[in-house]
Amino acid sequence: MFGPDKCGSTNKVHFIIKHKNPKTGEYVEHHLKFPPSVPSDKLSHVYTAILKPSNEVVILVDGEEKKKGNILSADDFEPSLIPDKTIADPDDKKPEDWDEREKIPDPNAVKPEDWDEDAPMEIEDEEAEKPEGWLDDEPEEIDDPDASKPEDWDDDEDGEWEAPKIDNPKCEAAPGCGEWKKPMKSNPAYKGKWHAPLIENPSYKGIWKPQQIPNPAYFELEKPDFEPVAAIGIEIWTMQDGILFDNILITSDEKEAASYRETAWKPKFEVEKEKQKAEEEAAATPDVLSGIQKKVFDLLYKIADIPFLEAYKLKIFDVIEMGEKQPNLTIGILVSVVVVFLSIFYRIIFGGKKPAQQQMLQPRQQVTIKEPVKRRKMKKKMPLLLAEEMLEGILEMKRMCCNCTFWKFLSSRGLIVAYFFA
């Protein structure tokens, strides 16, 4: 059996061979030791097993060597293809008088007369004195004076109410509170329970092992006698869909296998890798845009605080806040706020054709709006003054930049007009 196996803690590329024991006629599975792991992605991979006449086996993953071993080596396969010459006698049993103890307690040892097994490990320090300023009559904790019994407390159901405890503030400056007791120290007379010292065991015979006998399944073999491959089967157990197998090749030509790997697998792998890279970049894009969006909003708030924009400050804040609450309209709002700023700058530098008050009172019907946009409804309408100012700025920009690509982009999508007058 050959192929990847990744399930739970298992993560390896199996290589298992079955070999018929010429002595017993039994088929035995031999597993490759320390096999390579399976790539942890969702790309297509090609696994190659090469068996050489020299009994060498090589495992490749995507054409790269990951494991090399020898079929006849006990260091590379478990169990070894060649059995041990001897085995433990299954009928051999340890004698009853077999002593495996290397050391034993000295039977002639006697506990010393002055050995006190009852002496405690610690005793009070008789030389210790109570620190000056110790508050014997003060408890370490007191009832919280600020706590009060809850109004819904029922003594019959909840029991007698007790105030929670807090650390006694008087103890903070003192060395301690409450009853003072002498500290404990190690007892110099402590010896613990007496045990006889250990000596060499005169009856020690070592660790018992059953005797070895010739292995009836042992055989010698210079080259394994594997049966020919007659069929291919796929053994699979999975809880995931989308697992496919294709382009299975068995050949005696290693170069042919390498060429087939490059033509049948490599192009597919490169396409999948590029697709995965694009998906990862696309998944990361919202995070990047969110960070940029936040910085832009922070900048707009600072710009709105400029003194000469004081008359428009609150209305600009309304627009920015609406953009923060409705991310899908953020682009239109950002562009609209920028247009307002540009129109104000334009007026300051070049002046307007009409007073602002007259422009504000112009009928809104003069504005040409796409019919689908008229029928849209908004939960919250923009203040009329700000909308008129923005519209005027938009129209001014159109007169200044009627052929520019930027204006065509905005007009074709109706980002600004659709937002303020839908």
The DSSP line for 218-242 is ----SS--PPPP---------S-S-
- Asked whether residue 126 is domain-assigned, the answer is no
Locate 277 and state its tokens: 């890279």
pLDDT at residue 8 in the model: 84
- Asked whether residue 121 is domain-assigned, the answer is no
Are residues 403 and 310 part of one domain? Answer: yes
Total domains present in the chain:
2
Measure the CA dihedral 325/331/337/339, to 10°: -160
Are residues 82 and 27 part of one domain? Answer: yes
Are residues 259 and 322 part of one domain? Answer: no
Instruction: Give the span between the Cα atoms of 398 and 368, in whole angstroms.
Output: 13
Locate 286 and state its tokens: 């919202």
Are residues 385 and 304 part of one domain? Answer: yes
- Asked whether residue 113 is domain-assigned, the answer is no
**Apex CA 392: angle with CA 391 and CA 398, to 5°?**
90
- Asked whether residue 152 is domain-assigned, the answer is no
Burial (CB count within 10 angstroms: exposed 0-12, middle 13-18, buried 19+), residue 20: middle
Are residues 337 and 225 part of one domain? Answer: no
Are residues 411 and 368 part of one domain? Answer: yes
- Asked whether residue 413 is domain-assigned, the answer is yes
Burial (CB count within 10 angstroms: exposed 0-12, middle 13-18, buried 19+), residue 291: exposed
pLDDT at residue 407 in the model: 43
What's the start-to-end Cα distance of the chain, in Å? 67
Are residues 350 and 254 part of one domain? Answer: no
Amino acid at 296: V
Are residues 258 and 331 part of one domain? Answer: no
Residues of the chain with pLDDT under 50: 355-387, 398, 401-422
- Asked whether residue 106 is domain-assigned, the answer is no
Choose one of 263, 294, 322: the last residue of a domain: 263
Are residues 379 and 292 part of one domain? Answer: yes
- Asked whether residue 197 is domain-assigned, the answer is no
3-state secondary structure of 160: coil
**Residue 136: closest CA among 193, 91, 178:** 178
Are residues 300 and 400 part of one domain? Answer: yes
Choose one of 263, 293, 319: the last residue of a domain: 263
Are residues 408 and 343 part of one domain? Answer: yes
**What per-residue string of b and e applies to 230-252 under the rule 16 or more CB within 10 Å gives b?**
eeeeeeeeeeeeeeeeeeeeeee
C-beta of residue 281 within 8 angstroms of C-beta of residue 301: no
- Asked whether residue 338 is domain-assigned, the answer is yes
pLDDT at residue 338 in the model: 66
Q: Which domain holds residue 412?
A: 285-421
pLDDT in tens, 94-127: 999 999 999 999 999 999 999 999 999 999 999 9
Are residues 307 and 241 part of one domain? Answer: no
pLDDT at residue 107 in the model: 94
